[in-house]
Structure 1
Amino acid sequence: MKNFIFAFVFALISTTAFGQNTEKTYQLSSHILDVSKGMPASGVTIKLEKYNETNKTWTSVEEKVTDKNGRVPDFLSNDKSNLGIYKLTYFTSDYFKKMNEKSFYPWVEVVFEITNKEHYHVPITLSAYGYSTYRGN
């Protein structure tokens, strides 16, 4: 029993003391900035899908909601390979309806390809009648 306790305590100390990061990390994040207000767009649902090149279909990966800063920091865990073509769908219509605003785009779709293990940040700037996107960092 003494050896077990020693091994457990050593593992705990070495994980924190020697800089091993046990915190889960993510490869993909997104952000929405409402440029008409100069504020983050919180409460917007974003759906992530992956493209299957064999049968030319999209498969749902996960769906998240932007936080108070307009961000979703935790798409695609780094604990596996995430190479491929993805689509983020930003459901913007409900966001504008909550503010009693009409909008032209009921949703925004952004398709992109993950080609390596780097972090990918895909933000959009948004207004009721326009949007823009780019690869951020």
Structure 2
Amino acid sequence: MKHLIYTLCLVCACLGVRTYAATPSENYQLSTHILDVNLGRPASGVPIVLFRLAEDGITWNKVDAGITDPNGRIGNFLPANRTNDGIYKLKFETRDYFRKQNRESIYPFVEVVFEIRGSNHYHIPITMSANGYGTYRGN
């Protein structure tokens, strides 16, 4: 198990993926988390990719990526020291999370599209089980 964790961390470091970015910070405008409602606990180790819709209204450009921490959170998307207005989507890569628990899910991933306007903080979490999910704007 230690070897697997070490290898995962090494791969993430090589790919430039941030891992275990804990709580939202005043320095970032966007945060997210996942709560596994079937187990009643956060979903840790889930890769999440952030995309921004291009001006053509069709193309999604990758902005950032991370992996949820032990509390199921990523708190450091979009530095707050710049204008981040636009339409974004978070892609929660849930397939492997459920496979590791020997649970089948009909959702290989979940995408949540939202719009950022102004400088307020946006917290976009999901609650999910293997057969359903929900989202809302948190704080």
Measured in 2, the distance between the counterparts of 1:107 and 1:123 equals 14
Q: TM-score, normalised by structure 1?
A: 0.81
Within the candidate set 75, 95, 98, 2:97 is matched to 95
**Structure 1, unaligned runs of 5 or more:** 1-22
For 1:69, the equivalent position in structure 2 comes to: 71
Gap runs ≥5 in structure 2? 1-24
Counterpart of 1:31?
33
Please tell me the residue identity of whatever aligns with 1:57: T
SS in structure 1 at match of 2:99: helix
Q: Deviations over 1:54-111 (max 9, x none)?
A: 2620000011000000000000001111000000000000100111111010000000
Contact 1:86 1:112 in 2 (8 A): yes
- Say whether the 8 Å CA contact 1:48–1:89 is kept in structure 2: yes
Hey, what's the Cα distance between the residues in 2 that align with 1:109 and 1:30? 12
On the 8 A contact 1:24/1:77 being kept in 2, the answer is no
C-alpha RMSD of matched pairs (Å): 1.2
Q: Structure 1 runs of 4+ off > 4 angstroms?
A: none
Please tell me the residue identity of whatever aligns with 2:104.
K
Q: 1:59 aligns with which of 61, 68, 80?
A: 61
Tell me if 1:111 matches 2:86.
no
CA distance in 2 between counterparts of 1:58 and 1:83 reads 15
Q: TM-score, normalized by length of structure 2?
A: 0.80
